[in-house]
Structure 1
């Protein structure tokens, strides 16, 4: 394997965690929700589409400081809790709950027994016992709080923000966060996290920019006008061997560090193969990952149509609608590229890159409006995985820079376990206190054990492109 692409490994371990306390955190001063016993908030169709009805889990690791006092654990917990009570004033919707109203539409409501949930926990292990802290590891799941017996995808009447602080014997700790995707997209989540961290660090409320709700900006048109086919949401009959390969076996979570040099090389290959192609690095890398994945899984039949979906931030593409600075709701659309298995196996990387680029460029403000109206008319009830690879870009988020609560940048910031949704590939930034400005990215995805070697070889360009 080339030195500029490195397969990463994580430790298979069991992390014993003892939950000490669970407590609700409420806004420190009155909010609009306190002014009316029936206060509710509207969620847009971008907020409550089926793909957003999940909790996004992430974990942040912090090493101990040399001058940490003996009561360091209580001070850490107090700083995080005090800052959260302050931040929940401007971000008070995160202290609410979700319920369904007419036609399955979601709504935020408020009551006395609400608020965010914080959990204090301890482990008898040290951070050094956890192995490489730069590689997402499914073994870290105990660091994210879940209610005993909690059903999958449950979001109704759940705390919309759940934070678990786990202290290790070395003095280091982790902050495990579950944030409901209905309340904000990745950019909105980073805005909230930055405010919480800055408030903790400064000891006073810092909300810059001031959070803006304004979800009514994305109300559907009357009557709705669905102008596009929206292949990203259409059910496709699963008549390939993908389901058996990924869902009925025990897939392995794999992670690769891809250097900036290698990313540029893939882009250059695509553009040299087609002199008329001008693409982004993401276009080329997404195409290369998709093709490598399909080849490694040896998908059959060859005439089967496969889809690649990925989120596009539409904030920069809004022309007639101008959102106020500080808007933290969902402003993303799914782009969808489609190709037969045969084409992905045999066409050049430039042809697949063009498909990805065209899918990305199709997502405009008009496409977003059509998506909102499509959800109003169809309101899909389940996630469609048929013939699909979904790429999620976390490389666009300043996860490390925004998560300094006063203890420096985290050693790691990001997701944990991809295996529950094995058709998702996550692109992560190489960051953290010890990264030294490395511009590599991490490619994390799930593979059947029999496909790992082949995928690694193809991804490394030790194969025909």
Structure 2
């Protein structure tokens, strides 16, 4: 395999964790709501794809700067941050029309869990890539239903101490409250407050979900293939769900990304493609070819989110807005077109889907959700790429004991039609990790195709 792309294998582990203590963390001061008050969630917050908890984990080695008990430091800082970020201390409930809202009652708060493991942090081996074996480090309630967000704490934090003094912070944050950029804003405020010892929340957080109210009457101006229910007459979904897929992670150098981008741009003079356009196209083509998707005339979809904050002008969105402000873009192609056309053709599909998201498209999305209110996640013929490389995962996670050794998700296999682009974790690293799921029989074929950067099918 070429040196600019490396298949990173993670160890299969059994991590014993004993939960010692659970506590509710409440805001440290007055908040501007009373019991029985509610807050509006926008239709971007309330899509079916946001009705989930996003699990992440952060690993830290023991350092001399850990003079105060880790849980106490995290708890005290979190209580301070929950004053300006008070919606996190509420709960979600349903309304008569199927929408969700935040409501407030007595002693709700967020949950902090303290656990201990009899093994050392060093026993976990490679901490550079997601590992499904880390799931005991993220707290779940006994017999918790999948995808439950109603009446749940909206932030659940688990600190796990290892035998050698290292520890992990496992988080579950409700996606209804924030997108990735908003989560980083909250997380940075929490970490900075812990580091300096007093509340630091800059920019000043604002709720402002009414900014995304649907129009009256709603006006759906686009087909919104990203939400469409498709009868999957191909072998794509069945090949991924019938056999337990393998989670694969590839370390991709900056040089490799630039090479893919340059190859994609080679025949285009009118459009300037980004590295994401090219890498997303390259992954999509390689994935579909490796899976040998049939029939050839089946319509495939590639979806990904586009940050719309900078597009919103009338009026502009406030800097401190931390809610969901991303829109789902969707590129479509028949199987035969995707596998027979060269990389620049597919890159142009991705590019046009990305630049097609504007304020008008966003307003149409809000109206579509208002009218149709999709109830289930649609997987038919779809690959979703999630770009975490734009988030300052490592830079935002210094609570006073330095950058984490690893910051990010743990497991992709529950939704095997998702590919994640993660930042590489080293201090001077400038590459990224491409993590996705494949049937065992398709892994070698994908690697061969992914390494083959050629301007032809």
Q: TM bucket by the smaller chain?
A: over 0.9
> Deviations along 1:250-284, whole A, 9 cap, x unmatched?
00000001100000000111111334442111000
C-alpha displacement at 1:32, in angstroms? 1.4
Aligned to 1:95: 89
Distance 1:441 1:163 in 2: 26
Distance 2:131 2:432 in 1: 16
Q: Does residue 13 of the first structure (1) align with residue 13 of the second (2)?
A: yes
Distance 2:202 2:216 in 1: 35
1:158-197 equivalence runs, <5 A: 158-197=152-191
Distance 2:262 2:421 in 1: 20
SS at match of 2:225: coil
SS at match of 1:32: coil
SS at match of 1:308: strand
Aligned to 1:445: 436
Aligned to 2:29: 29
The question of whether the paired residues in 1 share the 8 Å contact of 2:26 and 2:107 is answered with no
SS at match of 1:352: helix
1:454 corresponds to which of 415, 433, 445: 445
Unmatched 5+ residue regions in structure 1? Answer: none
Q: Does residue 327 of the first structure (1) align with residue 331 of the second (2)?
A: no
Distance 2:239 2:375 in 1: 25
2:40 corresponds to which of 39, 42, 59: 42
1:259 corresponds to which of 253, 258, 274: 253
Q: Does residue 63 of the first structure (1) align with residue 54 of the second (2)?
A: no
C-alpha displacement at 1:9, in angstroms? 0.7
The question of whether the paired residues in 1 share the 8 Å contact of 2:289 and 2:339 is answered with yes
C-alpha displacement at 1:149, in angstroms? 1.0
The question of whether the paired residues in 1 share the 8 Å contact of 2:66 and 2:401 is answered with no
1:385 corresponds to which of 367, 371, 379: 379
1:206 corresponds to which of 188, 200, 206: 200
Aligned to 2:135: 141
Q: TM-score, normalising length from structure 2?
A: 0.98
C-alpha displacement at 1:68, in angstroms? 5.0
Distance 1:231 1:68 in 2: 50
> Deviations along 1:181-230, whole A, 9 cap, x unmatched?
00000000000000000000011100111100010111111000111110
The question of whether the paired residues in 1 share the 8 Å contact of 2:331 and 2:349 is answered with yes
Q: 1:68 to 1:42 in 2, by over 3 A?
A: closer
1:40-439 equivalence runs, <5 A: 40-66=38-64, 75-431=69-425, 435-439=426-430
Distance 2:299 2:187 in 1: 39
C-alpha displacement at 1:59, in angstroms? 0.3
Give the RMSD, CA atoms, in angstroms: 1.1
Distance 1:273 1:241 in 2: 32
> Deviations along 1:109-160, whole A, 9 cap, x unmatched?
0111410000000001111111110111000000000001111100000000
The question of whether the paired residues in 1 share the 8 Å contact of 2:308 and 2:325 is answered with yes
Distance 2:382 2:41 in 1: 27
SS at match of 1:316: helix
Distance 1:269 1:4 in 2: 16
